[in-house]
Structure 1
Amino acid sequence: MTTSTRFQILVCDGPSCGLCLNSEALLEHLEQRIAASDSLRDRVTAINLTCFGRCDDGPNIMVRPLAEGEDGDCEPDIDAIEGVRGLYLGMDTERIDRVLREHCEGGQPIEDWVEEY
């Protein structure tokens, strides 16, 4: 079953994730997968976030639900992501695909991978 929840996916673009671990390639992969999916295209947005502070674990992403009327193209304040159970560490394209399927389409975080920020 597909959820109707709108999500924002934040991709760490800090020095470690961005420069050393090429998180930009993950953002591009996300954007392509989202654009190609009828079930994700109008509900999921992926953007860069400055840094999660978990540099040794990267590249990292966060999947967070958007509030009614909230713009998914804007980087949120840190207060908006504190306590969110949606942080995924050590991501690659295969893991991204699973997060899109299970968390964004199915509405269920991947319990073995997800952490609270």
Structure 2
Amino acid sequence: MSRKSNVFKKKSITGKKSVLEKSSAPGRKEQLVESLKLPKDMLLGASILTMTGNHELWVENYKGIIEYTTESIILQAKTGQIAICGCGLVIDYYTNEDMKIIGNIQCIRYL
């Protein structure tokens, strides 16, 4: 059995040189989590976002607060950043593991 850490596919673009594109095949860690039927959020550090309507948002497994205004809250997650946009946004409470954001939430983006 061959051992591959990153799998790349060759993708050709018309009239241009071919480029290498990373395959979307799951990594070793993801395969292990799937095979053992373990919770992904705990082992991979994935953030969990739970919304109630567009007025409450619970965020679990975040690392820190990057930006905090009444129109935008940007959080650092393990795999990137999470931007919450809206009006009258307030962090109702937060701990090292989770937080509750209230206000008129208009969009959530992963950066």
TM-score interval, normalised by the smaller of the two chains? under 0.3
Is the helix fraction higher in 1 or 2?
A: 1
Is the strand fraction higher in 1 or 2?
A: 2
Question: Greater relative contact order: 1 or 2 (C-alpha under 8 angstroms, separation 6 or more)?
Answer: 1
